[in-house]
Structure 1
Amino acid sequence: MVSFSQTEKEGDILIDKTQQDDTYRAGETIKVNAVIQGDLVIAGGKLIVNDSINGDLTAAGGELFINGYVADDVRIAVGRTTIDSEIGDDLYVFGGEVILTENAIIHGNLTCFAGNIEMNGIVIGKLEIKGDDVLINGTIKETSKIIGEDIIIGANAKFHKEVVYWNSDGEIDFSNSLINTKAQFNEDFGKEKSELSLTTFGTASFSLWIFYILSSFLMILVLHALFRNAFSNAVEGIENNWLKSFGFGLIYLLGIPLLIILALLIIIGIPLGLFATVIFIFSLLFGHLIAALLVVYYIKYKKDRNWGFWSITFLALVCAIVLRLLTIIPFVGIFLSVVILSITYGALTLKVIHSKKQLVKN
């Protein structure tokens, strides 16, 4: 038996009783203070795991803290991740900032794609890192592959097997960190750095496809759990308002950047401008995921399908992959992206405007 939680609105979730089976949760803040006997899948703004998980951990969201033991694999797509415990098998992490404290022990391999990476713990298996600012100040027992704009090797770093790396400034000094092994600079690895760009992501590397699918699924899970009513309501009457939706969406895509610039030019408007910038960037990065959910809800509404929460979530993932493949086509992809995002945000905007008018009338 699997434990599901379909959160209708934003809220805090506390797991303080032992879960005997696989557990799924989505919410604004999720805190795990009890043992999970099976796998745990969580998605939300702030995620805190304080107790043991006897299966896999899969997580997506804004911020994640792992303070409890995880017996099997960990797969993460999170803005900021802090790991302060033992991982029984492999760790796959994709995000903005990743920190492994000195208490972190990864018994399998560590594969990490992120902006800022700080590794202070122990990796029993292989290490593969691609990022911008990379600090290695821990122990790696097997081979290492490190690609970064700026790589720093700390005083406590220990490499027990061969290291291959690429650094934007060329070769670096590994000092006394190499234990009866060697480090080799590979110029060709610089080409792999481009795999993390928005334009090539998902086309050049199978491993990046895996991360993309995982992160997309978990982000769709978050968006669906928190805003399912908004998607359901937005598709009503959309077939008669395609052009209107496109127009409102285009105003959003072109108008918001102008408003942000104006806000940043005024001192009192700087905080609002910065906040609007974050929201706007988020809407661009995850626009195709939001569009995928809207498409699935439209089909459900149009065809009168009796799809439940998880059916819609998985169908939206398939739709998101298709949209992603379409939007990476040169030139045509840019046009499709503008059209898709415009209709998506236009439809949502029109629904908000309609709802406000209804409130005024009442």
Structure 2
Amino acid sequence: MKTIAILLISLCSMVSFGQTQNEGDIVINKTQEDDTYHAGETIRTNAVVQGDLVIAGGNLTVNDSINGDLTAAGGELFLNSYVADDVRIAVGRAIIDSEIGDDLIVFGGEVTITENAKIHGNLKCFAGNIKMNGEVVGKLEVKGADILINGVVQKTSKIIGEDITIGSNAKFHNAVEFWNSDKEIDFKNSLVNTKAQFNEDLGKEQSELSLTTYGTRSLSSWLKYILTAFLGILVFHALFKHAFTQAVESFENKWLKSFGFGLVYLIGIPLIIIFTLLITIGISLGLFAAAIFIFSLLFGQLIAAILLAYYVKYKKDMNWGFWNVTFIALGFLLLMRLLTTIPYVGIAVSIVILAITYGALTLAVIRSKKQRVTS
């Protein structure tokens, strides 16, 4: 049961990727000079990517260097080459056998970090089965069911799991906090001039990990969330398909402008609402505006996922129909859902996503009105 939920996520992703008309099995054999986006049943990267690489599919393999970030979602990922910046992964099974220049964030059913792997930033791993045999230059934070640490960690460590094993090659060079049901771990000779301490408070985090330990309750939660999200995407996509198509044009070379307009929306609207509520004749208008604003926040990620799916379609000139876009948007929504669960970073990601989304939609409305005036 440990990997059911993440495999369910992967299945939803693969359904959408398998339905793309232009891309099924993808092999990248030529150097990519810019950011690269691909969705397919099988994706194999055998050439250098000079920018970021964003891939999603059933079977993902990276065999050459990426000079930016790697973001991946799907069934399986095999990372066999250098990544210069951050790596963010949501897959059923991941094998990391490479050097990573900055942070590694992994959500998965089964995650293996080999003895050849070296992570120069922090490692955050939320999975069912975790095997960490490499080196982490930064901090270690792992949460799961079955955990094996048999590598080197230079900075502080936080380990939360049901069954935690420390291997003979493990070395911790800084303080270690842990929680498991037995309240003790045999660290052998792994502690280098430091101490390990059981932290009861970490047990609360463990009890909140139903979406990352993949038990029965997590499966039910994910099923409800996926079904609800799918219906929401379906409704919004059907009602506002034309608006999303127009808004995508605001993305092209206008990311900062969209972000700026979005911040005005996120900050300015609440100020207007407060002002109208302070005026007696404006109370009704203020309450109505507040309801709409709260609605936009609640469904912000859902709208962003559809917009992102249309952007990839537009950017890659894909021949995706209504259902293709709908399923791919669901995959993006699940990935964003996972990313935004990360403390602090998740809040920042949410703000950026909402700002760019509503900024792009605002620019689309402005452009549409200008076209009507000129016509």
* TM-score, length-scaled by structure 2: 0.58
The answer (yes or no) to whether the contact 2:128–2:213 under 8 Å persists in 1 is no
| Equivalent-residue separation in structure 1 for 2:151 and 2:213 (angstroms) | 32
Q: Which residue type is aligned with residue 307 of structure 2?
A: S
The one of 300, 303, 309 aligned to 1:313: 309
Task: Give the residue type in structure 2 aligned to 1:50.
Answer: N
Structure 2 residue matching 1:286: 3-state secondary structure: helix
Q: What 5-or-longer segments of structure 1 have no aligned partner?
A: 202-278, 325-362
Does the CA-based 8 Å contact 2:309-2:332 persist in structure 1?
A: no
Distance 1:305 1:72, change over 3 A: closer
RMSD of aligned residue pairs (Cα, Å) = 3.3
What is the one-letter code of the residue matched to 2:233? L
Tell me, yes or no, if structure 1 residue 291 matches structure 2 residue 291.
Answer: no
**2:184 aligned residue (160, 168, 171):** 171
Please name the residue that 1:210 is paired with: none
Which residue of 2 is the match for residue 72 of structure 1?
85
Deviation at 1:10, TM superposition (A): 6.4
Shift of 1:8: 2.9
Cα distance between partner residues in 2 of 1:163 and 1:283:
35
Displacement after TM superposition at 1:295 (Å): 1.9
Structure 1 residues 137 and 25 mapped into 2: Cα distance closer, same or farther (>3 Å)?
same
Corresponding residue of 2:96: 83
**1:194 and 1:200 in contact (8 A); partners too:** no
Q: Tell me which of 14, 29, 33 is aligned to 2:42.
A: 29
Correspondence 1:99 to 2:88: no
Q: Which amino acid aligns with 1:100?
A: I
2-side partners of 1:319 and 1:48: how far apart?
20
- AA at the equivalent of 1:298: A
Shift in Å at residue 154 of structure 1?
0.4
The answer for the alignment partner of 1:127 in structure 2 is 140
Paired with 1:43 and 1:292, the residues of 2 have a C-alpha distance of 22
Alignment partner for residue 122 of structure 2, among 102, 109, 112?
109
Post-superposition Cα deviations, 1:270-289, rounded to whole Å, max 9, x if no partner, equal: xxxxxxxxx99986563234
2:211/2:222 contact within 8 Å kept: no
- Partners of 1:93 and 1:295 in 2: CA distance: 31
Structure 1's 108 and 312: CA in aligned 2 closer, same or farther, altered over 3 A?
closer
Q: Is the 8 A contact 2:126 2:212 kept in 1?
A: no
Q: Which amino acid aligns with 1:165?
A: F
Offset of 1:95 from its aligned partner? 1.0
State the Cα distance separating 1:11 from its structure 2 match: 1.3
Separation of aligned partners in 1, 2:244 and 2:160: 47
Cα deviation code 1:132-153 (max 9, x no counterpart): 1000000001110000010000
Report deviation, 1:304: 7.6
Give 2:237's aligned amino acid: Y
CA drift at 1:312: 6.1
Contact residue 74 and residue 90 of structure 2 kept, 8 A:
yes
Partner AA of 1:287 in structure 2:
L
3-state secondary structure, aligned to 2:208: helix
Distance 2:169 2:194 in 1: 16
Conserved? CA contact 1:296–1:312, under 8 Å: no
Shift, 1:200, TM fit: 12
| Deviation digits for residues 43-91 of structure 1 (CA, Å, limit 9, x no counterpart) | 0111000000000000000100000100000011111000001001000
Per-residue deviation, 1:169: 1.4
Residue aligning to 1:138: 151
Q: Is the 8 A contact 1:292 1:319 kept in 2?
A: no
2:195 is the counterpart of 1:185: no
% identical aligned pairs: 67
Please tell me whether the aligned partners of residues 143 and 161 of structure 2 are also in contact (alpha carbons under 8 angstroms).
Answer: yes
CA-CA distance at 1:299 after TM superposition = 1.1
Give the whole-Å Cα distance in 2 for the aligned partners of 1:30 and 1:137: 30
TM-fit CA distance, 1:9: 6.2
Query: Cα–Cα, structure 1 residues 173 and 199, in superposed 2: closer, same or farther, change >3 Å?
Result: closer
| Distance (whole Å) between structure 2 residues aligned to residue 81 and residue 191 of structure 1 | 27
Residue 290 of structure 1, CA deviation: 2.5
Q: Distance in 2 between matches of 1:164 and 1:48?
A: 34
In 2, distance between residues paired with 1:318 and 1:281?
17
29 and 284 in structure 1: CA distance in 2 versus 1, 3 angstrom threshold: farther
Change (3 A) 1:36 1:199: closer
Which structure is richer in relative contact order (CA contacts within 8 A, separation 6 or more)?
Answer: 2
The Cα of 1:170 is off from its aligned counterpart by 1.3
Rounded to whole Å, the distance in 1 between the matches of 2:333 and 2:57 is 19
**Structure 1 residues 8 and 284: CA distance shift in structure 2, 3 A:** farther
Structure 2 CA distance for partners of 1:304 and 1:120, relative to 1, 3 Å: closer
Residue correspondences, number = 240
Structure 1 residue 294: deviation in Å?
1.2
